[in-house]
Amino acid sequence: MITVMKNIVSFILPITVLIIVPLWIESDWTIHFGLSLICGLLLIALGLVVMGLTISSFIRIGKGTLAPWSPTEKLVIKGLYRYVRNPMIMGVLTVLVGESVLVRSENILTWAGTFFLINTFYFIVYEEPSLEKRFGDEYRAYKKHVGRWIPRNSAYEPSKSN
């Protein structure tokens, strides 16, 4: 029961970032038909798929949640994490860009950029040093071979990297 509650509570962050803040900063939610509708929906769907895959990896493999107050017990270097260190945030950014395209909102696009900068700062100052302390050499090797934002061309294989 506690695990279920932790998983549910961990969705406070994505709900806030993807729904509450955009609704708060954008007053005109007129959906424009045509190319912006198609592109916006495709981006939102892609971002949600990425988020679903990464959240599932955190729960199944990492034995934790996406929330900082309930972190994973194991370092997740499977699935999309073999290509880039922060695919979950890339999924969130993709949804935000999709929302901004869907309703043609500069405010949501600005929020996406702000969210990216906040997370970059957070990762550099807090999360990456914290992961180095928790997972040691395993994380340092991963960090050395897998980019924070730029995906690798091929999957990272820890046993084959030096």
- CATH code where residue 100 lies: 1.20.120.1630
Place of tokens 């495709």: 42
Residue 18: inside a domain, yes or no?
no
Share the mean pLDDT of the chain.
91
CA 60 to chain CA centroid, Å, is 17
- The domain of 70 spans 31-156
**pLDDT-derived band of residue 1, with 50, 70 and 90 as boundaries?**
low
**Is 12 inside a domain boundary?**
no
Is 125 or 68 the better-scoring residue by pLDDT?
125
**91 located within any domain:** yes
Closest residue by Cα to residue 160 from 148, 142, 147, 139 = 142
In angstroms, the CA 58 to CA 62 distance is 5
Joined together, the tokens standing for residue 6 give: 């932790």
Q: Is residue 48 part of a domain?
A: yes
In-domain check, residue 63: yes
* Domain membership flag for residue 161: no
Of 6 and 97, the structure prediction assigns the larger pLDDT to 97
**Residue 6 belongs to a domain:** no
Number of structural domains (the chain) is 1
pLDDT at position 13 is 84
Q: Is the pTM of this model over 0.85?
A: yes
> 51-83 pLDDT, tens per residue?
999 999 988 998 877 777 778 899 999 999 999
Is residue 22 assigned to a domain? no
